[in-house]
Amino acid sequence: MNLTAAGLAATFDSTNLRLDATDADLDALCDEAVTLKFAAVMLYPTGVANAARRLKDTGVKVGTVIGFPSGRFTSAAKSAEISAVVAAGADEVDVVLNYAALREGRADIATAEISALTAHAHALGATIKVIVETCYLNAEQRIAALRICEDAGADFIKTSTGFGSAGAKVEHIREWAEKRRGKIQLKASGGIKTLANARALIEAGATRLGTSSAAAILAEFNGEKPAAVSAGY
């Protein structure tokens, strides 16, 4: 795969979901994303309005998380949260699936929720990525999650919150790439710290990588001394 620095940078959703993140940290996240031409920044909903002002007309998207990290919120609450963050300036919403329902054999609950939330996000002009927390799903459940997202018309299916027992695995991205029926895109997230891991996930089929180590990975690609690797996400 002929990966370029620009191509690699364009896969990154540069993320700061640390519980101790400051306003200055989030400003730095935005400024770095503009300089390095990342696809998007990902931060908590309260940071959206400032990020939207800071990133206006830069080409960097503002992303945020919904129902995070457990997914065990009512569909009404998730819908209201989507409305609020899009009104504040979010371009993309990463929504945590009620994967607990899926694990308990209640795929109908997860299906109804993601169908409604996808329609809602799209009506507001937002991209929706559905986080399914693959570390807690078996193979059958991972494919069921893929079908739910495909049938709902979601833009992406995403591996992880970064708060589960494990993050993105190359084999899970490859599994989805081989099993998907249409054009749904794949986002890998959680624990992506090195160029080798990023490259492997892209080669497996991921088109977005959620990571707090985006700058360090890009520096590694360019043969530069990397910035400190974040301990989070």
Positions annotated as catalytic residues are 94, 158, 187
Residue type, 17: L
**13 Cβ contact list (under 8 Å, min separation 6):** 38, 39, 40, 41, 42, 63, 92, 187, 189, 208, 209, 210, 211
DSSP tag of 46: G
Question: What number of helices (H) and strands (E) belong to the chain?
Answer: 10, 8
What dihedral angle (degrees, nearest 10) is formed by the CA atoms of 166, 168, 169, 174? Answer: 150
- What is the spatial distance between Cα 38 and Cα 208, in angstroms, rounded to a whole number? 10
Residue 95 β-bridge partners: 66, 130
Q: Where are the alpha helices (DSSP H) in the chain?
A: 5-9, 23-36, 48-55, 75-88, 99-103, 107-123, 139-152, 170-179, 195-204, 214-221
